[in-house]
Amino acid sequence: MRYTEYLLPTLKETPADAEVVSHRLMLRAGLIRKVAAGIYNYLPLGLRSLRKVEQIVREEMNRAGAHELLMPMVVPAELWQESGRWQQYGRELLRFKDRKEADFCLGPTHEEVITDIVRHEVRSYRQLPLNLYQIQTKFRDEIRPRFGLMRGREFIMKDAYSFDLDDAGADAAYERMYQAYRRIFQRCGLNFRAVEADTGNIGGSSSHEFMVLAESGEDAIVSCDSCEYAANVEKAELRAPATDEPTPTEGLKKVLTPARKSVEEVAAFLNTSPQKLVKTLIVQTDKGETLAVLLRGDRELNDIKLCRLLDCAWVEMAGEEVVLKATGAPSGFAGPVGLKLRILADREVQGLADFITGANEKDAHFTGVNLGRDFAVEAFADLRKAVAGDACPRCEGRLQIWRGIEVGHVFKLGTKYSEALNAVVLDDQGRERVLVMGCYGIGIGRTLASAIEQNHDADGIIWPLPIAPFEVLVVMLNPNDAEVKAAAEQLYAELLGEGVEVLLDDRDERPGAKFKDADLLGIPLRVTVGARGLKDGQVELKERAGGAVAMLATVKAAEDIAARLRSARVHG
Ligand SMILES: [Zn+2]
């Protein structure tokens, strides 16, 4: 490809409305352009990378025994009414009428359509297992689309659906998809973790999110430094702490703590550490209950764990009035001694003695507080958030904390849709059986954006080779110099002959501008053809990642570069 014949509009200025790195760089490097909020054009360079991700996904899905098909983006309401989602789904589902006043929606996901296909076309267990997928444009009418391809309204997804006769079959399908996903993200050249996800009412470990690790990720995840365990921070199980029976040595004593409310303020005032405090959170649930939750002073409550324990939808910190009514003191001074509320505590509190709590009185705390002797706890449970350095629940390793961007999700669906749409087959005894389903998504554009979030520097993108739009950029330093022009043209032709994907920067621009664009575009190898090097029969090769520079003999340059790329593809 010749730059002068290509549509590759790079921007020097950072676009004002782009909040995250991938969005900024995709605009600046001429990969995408906005059409409307959350809706983008993929320009030629962006489309090249997008197609590469798609191709890797396609090859691995096919290898795992899935079959590609294509369903429509426009879906009739009837199917969504049958599953009940026409009513349940919020305004993210873009509903509209055609000219005959019939209801339709733009599919944000295709469980209904695929189940409809299977219930009509699959009648016997002999046609199973079956796994069907598509790579299709989806639409979700996000209220606040932002971050470019990271959270658009229109987006390209690979979605796969597996159908099996029973749970064992569905588990095997899930495992095949899990392994395929690992290969996909490895082949894309990304650093990722497969994280156990919350399955809501389905339960078990039948849901994993694939997270690309990046500082800008919206999800905090933990992973073990020595085994495969990884989970969302909200979900991360914690190993039960060693339960040494605590031995009280101090008596209960009230101390004045004027205007000291936070754990840090109280600890500093009493000249001790936050670990010596037990904080008492007054919490309200969606069921209207007010209760107290105890945590070690330096810990944070994990709402999701508490909700699971209480079997409620949400919890929130009680407001000032409720705290005053429940404890007799303004917030900041709550404590378990004499408290007339149900008290739950994190397991860690069970091992503490002689700690400090609020005294349910303005400007006062208790020291020397002890469990059992001074107050009772109804139940101890794992209620705190994981932190770096916590023990792994599965092995002797330690947990690390990362930030991640969700790019894929595998989910064992069960029979939710097959029951609703009556998708059944006859088993070998001639009995009707409801199909057991799984669904498996990958955000194609999101994968691309997350690759940039993970791989960039101050100057621009640093593409992983497998999904780079081009492998090599040949920079023709001065196209008006006949010798330079001829050498660059020849190298370009030779690289094409070697099957290398190459972009030739043949623009009549200053070298500085060309190098700036080269860094911005992030093509893995840059070859500079200039008059000075040619005098010595050489061209300069520079790696975008790491910046290593090597001089290559002009006559052998194409061959050398092709060999490097072959070896990178094998070892990458
Ligand atoms: Zn571990």
Share of the chain above pLDDT 70, in %: 98
What's the CA-to-centroid distance between 272 and ligand 1, angstroms?
A: 33
What tokens were used for 413? 């669906």
Q: Give me the residues near ligand 1 (ion), CB cutoff below 5 Å.
A: 224, 227, 229, 392, 394-395, 397
What's the CA-to-centroid distance between 193 and ligand 1, angstroms?
A: 13
Amino acid making up residue 566 = R
**Weakest mean pLDDT among 25-29, 307-311, 482-486:** 307-311
What's the CA-to-centroid distance between 392 and ligand 1, angstroms?
A: 5
Q: How far apart are the first and last CA of the chain?
A: 25
* 32-48: pLDDT as tens digits: 999 999 999 999 999 99
What's the CA-to-centroid distance between 230 and ligand 1, angstroms?
A: 8
397, 376, 379, 378: which is closest to 388 by C-alpha? 397
**HEC-encoded secondary structure of 81-93:** HHHCHHHHCCCCC
Name 434's Cβ contacts closer than 8 Å, sequence gap at least 6. 415, 418, 419, 423, 424
Per DSSP, the chain holds a count of helices (H) and strands (E) of 15, 31
What's the CA-to-centroid distance between 397 and ligand 1, angstroms?
A: 5
What's the CA-to-centroid distance between 391 and ligand 1, angstroms?
A: 8
What's the CA-to-centroid distance between 424 and ligand 1, angstroms?
A: 41
What's the CA-to-centroid distance between 29 and ligand 1, angstroms?
A: 40
297 in Cβ contact with 348 (< 8 Å): no
What's the CA-to-centroid distance between 306 and ligand 1, angstroms?
A: 24
What's the CA-to-centroid distance between 380 and ligand 1, angstroms?
A: 24
Distance CA 281, CA 385 (A): 14
DSSP state, 283? E
What's the CA-to-centroid distance between 393 and ligand 1, angstroms?
A: 7
What's the CA-to-centroid distance between 249 and ligand 1, angstroms?
A: 37
Distance CA 182, CA 317 (A): 40
What's the CA-to-centroid distance between 395 and ligand 1, angstroms?
A: 4
- Residue 561 pLDDT grade (very low, low, confident, very high; cuts 50, 70, 90): very high
Distance CA 369, CA 353 (A): 7
Query: Could you tell me which residue, 551 or 242, shows the higher pLDDT?
Result: 551
* 90-101: pLDDT as tens digits: 999 999 999 999
Q: Name the helix (H) or strand (E) containing 33.
A: strand 32-36
How much is the pLDDT for 202? 43
Q: What are φ and ψ of residue 328, in 5° steps?
A: 80, 5
What's the CA-to-centroid distance between 396 and ligand 1, angstroms?
A: 6
* 167-194: pLDDT as tens digits: 999 999 999 999 999 999 999 999 999 9
379 in Cβ contact with 206 (< 8 Å): no
What's the CA-to-centroid distance between 455 and ligand 1, angstroms?
A: 27
What's the CA-to-centroid distance between 296 and ligand 1, angstroms?
A: 24
What's the CA-to-centroid distance between 180 and ligand 1, angstroms?
A: 23
DSSP string of 18-79, one letter each residue: --SHHHHHHHHTTSEEEEETTEEEE-HHHHHHHHHHHHHHHHHHHHTT-EE----SEEEHHH
pLDDT surpassing 60 at residue 86: yes
Name 176's Cβ contacts closer than 8 Å, sequence gap at least 6. 64, 65, 131
Amino acid making up residue 309 = L
What's the CA-to-centroid distance between 438 and ligand 1, angstroms?
A: 27
Tell me if residue 523 falls in helix, strand or coil. Answer: coil
169 in Cβ contact with 438 (< 8 Å): no
What's the CA-to-centroid distance between 192 and ligand 1, angstroms?
A: 17
What's the CA-to-centroid distance between 62 and ligand 1, angstroms?
A: 32
Residue position matching structure tokens 């993210």: 92
What torsion, rounded to 10 degrees, do the Cα atoms 526, 48, 189, 198 define? Answer: 150
Max Cα–Cα distance, the chain, nearest Å: 93
What's the CA-to-centroid distance between 235 and ligand 1, angstroms?
A: 15
DSSP state, 347? G
DSSP state, 153? S
pTM here is 0.82
What's the CA-to-centroid distance between 227 and ligand 1, angstroms?
A: 4
What's the CA-to-centroid distance between 190 and ligand 1, angstroms?
A: 22
- Residue 200 pLDDT grade (very low, low, confident, very high; cuts 50, 70, 90): low
What's the CA-to-centroid distance between 242 and ligand 1, angstroms?
A: 18
What's the CA-to-centroid distance between 223 and ligand 1, angstroms?
A: 8
- Residue 246 pLDDT grade (very low, low, confident, very high; cuts 50, 70, 90): confident
What's the CA-to-centroid distance between 307 and ligand 1, angstroms?
A: 26
DSSP state, 386? P
Distance CA 94, CA 86 (A): 10
128 in Cβ contact with 118 (< 8 Å): no
What tokens were used for 59? 């090859």
23 in Cβ contact with 448 (< 8 Å): no
Distance CA 251, CA 373 (A): 10
Tell me if residue 178 falls in helix, strand or coil. Answer: helix
